[in-house]
Amino acid sequence: MSRPRVTLKLATSLDGRIATAAGESRWITGEASRAEVQKLRAAHDAVLIGSGTARADDPELLARTTPPPTRQPVRIVVDTEFSLQPPGKLFDTLDRGTLLVIGAGDGDTTRRDVVERAGARTAGVARGPQGIDIEAALSVMAERGVGHVLCEGGGQLAASLIAAEAVDRLEWFRAPILLGSEGRPGVAALMLSSLAAAPAFRRVALRELGPDIWESYERIS
């Protein structure tokens, strides 16, 4: 099954948390880190998030660079039951960038119709252990011309991609703060049986961005 190259972006505390227990996440990392994320968006064909992140953050997912990119990445939301409904910034900016919502083929048809009538595109795939079949979703992206996709969370989507051995590169921005175990993890449970089963990555770059650290990793095949 063909799929796009997947880059997972994490913006976390030192202990790998993307938000407080209450969901506060703006802003964990600093301005310089956020500017680099905008460049990463512009360099990819698509930006991918889960429905929980879409509802919690109400993002635009547009690449805000200077100068502006020649084209905006496709905004993709993985949303099993098509629960993401207008209004919202993703829908408000459809004149600036395509929105694709990928859910279960047998998901809520009424909600799916609302998403389509609002101007977004939709696709239905088979269900998987944690929602939809993530490999099938990636195949849909490839069929629609997405060669490189940047995943910006949340934790469950990140875990699903890692478990499927679909993450090719990590771009990890870490801020010098600690949020504790009650904070929301950047990667949800992987249910590993042993250390030997842990996905392995090789660090290929390390940079300082003000108080933050930006690390890049490539997956070890």
Q: Which of 202, 181, 154, 201 is nearest to 56 (CA)?
A: 154
Please state which of the four CATH numbers 3.40.430.10, 3.40.50.720, 3.40.50.300, 3.30.420.40 is assigned to the domain occupying 5-219. Answer: 3.40.430.10
CA dist., res. 24 & res. 33, Å (int) = 18
The overall pTM is greater than 0.75:
yes
The domain limits of the chain are 5-219
Q: Which pLDDT tens digit goes with each residue over 51-82?
A: 999 998 899 999 999 999 999 999 999 999 99
Q: Which pLDDT tens digit goes with each residue over 18-31?
A: 888 888 788 899 99
- 106 DSSP 8-state letter: T
Q: Which pLDDT tens digit goes with each residue over 164-189?
A: 999 999 999 999 999 999 989 999 99
